[in-house]
A and B are shown apart, each in its own frame.
Chain A
């Protein structure tokens, strides 16, 4: 009797613990269009750091506390 109830408890515990294992992945599918080049390829010769520095400096034009000291 005791072993049967233990088995039932173990089965229930396993069912609870493993319930997420059967779930399907819900992420978006893989992109199926054309591949795009990197933003820094065309005008920055593939230099990512240079492009990032340029956009970061450009963003500071929006900071009027910097523009008007």
Chain B
């Protein structure tokens, strides 16, 4: 059984924000809603690292656990989706999510929140697949067409991978073999460098 996941190769991401633009264009999300964003550590310094972040479709999703209206569900492919008709826009999921994935449209005055919007892994929502209503509420349903999320499919450096976890981890494994390294994809040293690395040095100097 497929288990859909995202994997971002921080050695390849060039912070072009193409994934962000592709997502916004594909799903025609309203002003102020960005389902995906690129986070850069040590921005502007030599050795900076970028990573594209959206909903990670957690296997044990905290948003699901805290939702007071139980509007979240997980598909057979492991994609975490929600029913906007059930959502009350309370924002609990935003506080629970470690990735800041849930987005809320500012629909009125005084910071009034609309219904939550987040990355759907291009799998739409609980409306008829490919219908106008699904498109309006959740964006395009590419997964039902046998396609994968557009953010990953159009990534120019193929830093962002999306698909069945087994398949994309195999792609990454092959890549790491060719590269001759790969264990450093994630972790403190990759993000902040060793003691002598430029990012760590700059942080130290900033503290002085």
Residues of A within 8 A of B (CB): 26-44, 51-52, 54-56, 58-65
Contact = CB atoms under 8 A, between A and B. Distances in A.
Contacts of B69: 32
Given A59-B163, A63-B171, A31 B73 contact: yes
A42 B130 contact: yes
Interface stretch (B24-32, B101-109, B145-153): B145-153
B134 to A, nearest CB: 10
Contacts of B128: 37, 42
Nearest to A33: B83
Contact of A55 (B72, B146, B178): B146
B72 A31 contact: yes
Interface residues of B, number: 45
Interface of B: 2, 64-65, 67, 69-73, 75-77, 81-83, 85-86, 123, 125-130, 141, 143-148, 152-153, 155, 158, 161-164, 167-168, 171, 174-175, 178
A23 to B, nearest CB: 16
Given A34-B85, A36-B126, A62 B158 contact: yes
A58 B146 contact: yes
Given A36-B126, A65-B174, 10 more contacts: A33-B85, A33-B86, A37-B128, A39-B123, A40-B144, A41-B144, A42-B130, A62-B153, A62-B155, A65-B178
A54 B65 contact: no
A59 B126 contact: no
Contact of B167 (A30, A40, A59, A65): A59
Nearest to B81: A36
A52 B69 CA distance: 32
Contacts of A29: 67, 70
Contact of B171 (A40, A52, A58, A62): A62
27 contacts: A28-B67, A31-B72, A31-B83, A33-B70, A33-B85, A36-B73, A36-B126, A38-B75, A39-B75, A39-B123, A39-B129, A39-B144, A40-B144, A41-B129, A41-B144, A42-B144, A43-B146, A44-B146, A51-B146, A55-B148, A59-B167, A62-B148, A62-B163, A63-B158, A65-B171, A65-B174, A65-B175
A1 to B, nearest CB: 51
B2 A55 contact: yes
A32 B126 CA distance: 12
B24 to A, nearest CB: 21
